[in-house]
Amino acid sequence: MRIPDWWEVLLLGAAAWRTFQLLALDKILDRPRRYVTGLGWSWREGQRVPAGYHSGMAEFIECPYCLGAWVALGWWGAWLMWPHGTVVASVPFALSAVVIGLAQVIASE
C-alpha cells in the first residue's frame, strides 16, 4: 500500500471538505436532506417539525466529525483503488473549495 504525496493529500483533503459542505450545508441539496431526515419534500424553515423527523440522522449529516470522516474515508478509499483517476476527479472539488475559501476571506474584509 502506498501513502499519498503531500499534494495528493491536499487535493483529497480539499475535495473531501467540499464534498462534505455540499452534502451537509449547500442549499442545492436541501430537499434530499429533508427527505433523508424525515422532514419531507415540502417542509419549510419555521414550520413545525413532523413526528417522523430523524434528529440523529440530521446531526450525523451536519457533523464534520461524523459525515466528514466518512466522506474523507471514501476519497481515500477511491484513491487506494484508482490513484490517478481519483486525483483527477478531486481537482474540481478542490478548486471549488479554494474559491469558497477566498470568497469568505474577501467578504470578511
C-alpha 42/C-alpha 88 separation (Å) is 37
Q: Is the four-CA dihedral 39, 42, 45, 27 of positive or negative sign?
A: positive
Q: What is the reported pLDDT for 102?
A: 95
Residue with more model confidence, 2 or 78: 78
Q: What is the reported pLDDT for 61?
A: 96
Tell me: the pLDDT tens digits for 29-88? Answer: 998 998 899 988 777 778 888 888 999 999 999 999 999 999 999 999 999 999 999 999
For the entire predicted model, the pTM comes to 0.88
